[in-house]
């Protein structure tokens, strides 16, 4: 829903004051969420994926992750999420073990927020001890 106005030359331009995003942002600063309902839906583990808890950052894109199956793996943040996602110690993540070295290495696919973790625990998708 954009307002179209005519400028002095007679060309149609978009009104810059109308926001179509769920985020409020300026040129500088953090983006804040305007409406919680419009955020992306929760991602649940699919085939070959599981929950994990970040134990320690190892530098760059590597992290030590304790997985739901009890193994400790070295996780790599996949390329699409490197710049978009900030992962800290003790964050709950969704991981996918590699096909080779499956006991040692994994890809980090998603990071869960605090509200999402509470929902997962309340609905029985996640054990409290992880």
Model confidence at 43, pLDDT cuts 50, 70, 90, reads confident
Residue 63 in this model has a pLDDT that exceeds 90: yes
When mean pLDDT is compared over 3-12, 32-41, 75-84, the highest value belongs to: 75-84
Instruction: Output 98 or 83, whichever has higher pLDDT.
Output: 98
Contacts of 124 (CB under 8 A, 6+ apart): none
Contacts of 25 (CB under 8 A, 6+ apart): 31, 32
Residue 128 in this model has a pLDDT that exceeds 60: yes
pTM reported for the whole predicted model? 0.67
106: left (phi over 0), alpha (psi -120 to 50) or beta: beta
Residue 34 in this model has a pLDDT that exceeds 60: no
Cα Rg of the chain (Å, integer): 20
Q: Tokens 């991981």 identify what position? A: 95
Instruction: Output 3 or 89, whichever has higher pLDDT.
Output: 89
Instruction: Output 71 or 2, whichever has higher pLDDT.
Output: 71
- The architecture in CATH of the region 50-122 reads Beta Barrel (2.40)
Percent of the chain with pLDDT over 70: 68
Model confidence at 30, pLDDT cuts 50, 70, 90, reads low
Structural domain boundaries in the chain: 50-122
Model confidence at 15, pLDDT cuts 50, 70, 90, reads very low
Mean pLDDT of 100-117: 91
């Amino acid at each position: 829903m954009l307002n179209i106005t005519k400028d002095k030359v007679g060309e149609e331009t978009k009104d810059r004051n109308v926001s179509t995003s769920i985020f409020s942002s300026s040129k500088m600063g953090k983006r804040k969420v305007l409406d919680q309902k419009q955020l992306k839906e929760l991602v649940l583990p699919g085939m070959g994926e599981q929950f994990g808890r970040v134990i320690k950052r190892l530098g760059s894109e590597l992290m030590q992750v304790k997985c739901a199956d009890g193994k400790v793996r070295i996780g790599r943040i996949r390329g699409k999420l490197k710049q978009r996602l900030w992962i800290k110690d003790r964050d709950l993540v969704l991981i996918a073990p590699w096909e080779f070295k499956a006991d040692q290495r994994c890809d980090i696919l998603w990071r869960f927020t605090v509200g999402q973790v509470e929902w997962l625990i309340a609905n029985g998708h996640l054990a409290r001890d992880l």
